Amino acid sequence: MKKKTLGLLAVSLCLSWGFSMSAVAQDPAKIWLRQGPNKLLDSDAIMAKMDMARDLAGYDYYLSTLQRLQCQDIDETYTIVQTPGVNMGAWKEVPAEPTQVFDNVYYVGGMEVGGWIIDTGEGLIMLDSSYEYGATTILEPNIAALGLNPADIKYILVTHAGPDHFGAVMHFVDNYGTKVVFNRQLAGGPANPPWLQVVPEDMVIMGDGDKLTLGNTTITAVHTPRSYNADGITPGDGLSYFIPVKINGKRHLWATYGNTGLVGTVADKVLYRESMAKWLKYVDALKPDIAISSHPFVDASLDRMEIIRECNDRRGQHKGWNKQECSRNPFVIGRKAARRYFEIMDQCAVVQTMRQEAGINSTGLEELP
């Protein structure tokens, strides 16, 4: 019953905004839904944990988007929400519409993964870098469309060593002398792919609580591994960040978590939860009021960017825009909801750990081989 109510609420919320829902139709997490007559194998105990995750999301459209994806829960059409692309073959990332989201922050990435640009007043910082091919097909065209200059990018903050986050870094290192921020050196031997050939002098290594300052912006990093390295002992890669931003001149704090997706063994998921527990301590100390993933499908960022563009357009060109709807930035969710965002991620890790321990896959539909 609750699921249905939530769906209706999300739809009516969107209708009440009065905006076209084309962004939803484009949202890759919604394109590649898993269809079929679902029969979940979840035990009552697992379903109780899932209910706790749903309760954390409540009736919030953005938090529910996160919860359904992270838990691989069903949506209002009883379809399981999964990471985009998982059921696609030769899928290739395409550009999203570039958008200024805050006074000093711009989205320049694709439909699946950022590029987010932070303007520090004395140079730009980019959060994540898309795939290797994305440097010239996604990032640079979007950066130029917003009147920014890629040569001004002094640092790329990488959230983890996946090809969708690290892929384009060498293009910026080689062409603009950009430095790469990560939690460990990745300069590699020939076995490493070309996008992991950053030499030590082009890297800035950061760990728990370390700060990076450029211009008017000081960013705090936290090491948040989600899985163990191949040795099974040392925790793997991943940095998450607190980034100060401004909206209409007012200071806000954006928290972005680097290793959102759940992978690997039960032990990896225990590590994921340890990283999240550490991160939540930083959240309680720094009190972010904005939580956004580098991947825009995780928390409906594409929808929010469409709202921002629509409001800007109405301000500029139409007399009848709804002042109340456009009076607040849809990314500002407040401190309590920002904390709940990460509690949902943790609770979904509980659900996925229990599914794995019970011998069922992450969708809850099939027994593990």
69, containing H or E segment: helix 61-71
Do the beta carbons of residue 132 and residue 195 sit within 8 Å?
Answer: yes
Q: Beta-carbon neighbour count of residue 30 at 10 Å?
A: 18
| Residue with smaller CB distance to Zn ion, 164 or 306 | 164
Whole-angstrom Cα distance, residue 350 to residue 334?
A: 25
| Residue with smaller CB distance to Zn ion, 131 or 331 | 131
Non-local CB neighbours of 271 within 8 Å, separated by 6+ positions:
225, 226, 227, 228, 235
| Residue with smaller CB distance to Zn ion, 258 or 330 | 258
Q: Beta-carbon neighbour count of residue 20 at 10 Å?
A: 11
| Residue with smaller CB distance to Zn ion, 162 or 188 | 162
Whole-angstrom Cα distance, residue 273 to residue 159?
A: 17
Non-local CB neighbours of 358 within 8 Å, separated by 6+ positions:
41, 43, 46
CA R_g for the chain: 20
Tell me which of 132, 164, 289, 299 binds Zn ion, using CB under 5 A: 164
Residues 124-163 that bind Zn ion (CB under 5 A): 162
Query: Counting runs of H as helices and runs of E as strands, what totals does the chain give?
Result: 12, 12
| Residue with smaller CB distance to Zn ion, 49 or 295 | 295
Q: Does 237 bind Zn ion (CB under 5 A)?
A: no
| Residue with smaller CB distance to Zn ion, 119 or 299 | 299
The minimum distance between CB 165 and Zn ion, in angstroms, equals 5
The minimum distance between CB 159 and Zn ion, in angstroms, equals 8
Query: Site for Zn ion (CB under 5 A): how many residues?
Result: 2
Give the end-to-end CA distance of the chain in Å, rounded to a whole number.
Answer: 33
Q: What is the DSSP string of 114-145?
A: --EEEE-SSSEEEE----TTHIIIIIHHHHHH
Q: Which residue is nearest to Zn ion (CB)?
A: 164
List contacts with Zn ion (CB under 5 A).
Answer: 162, 164
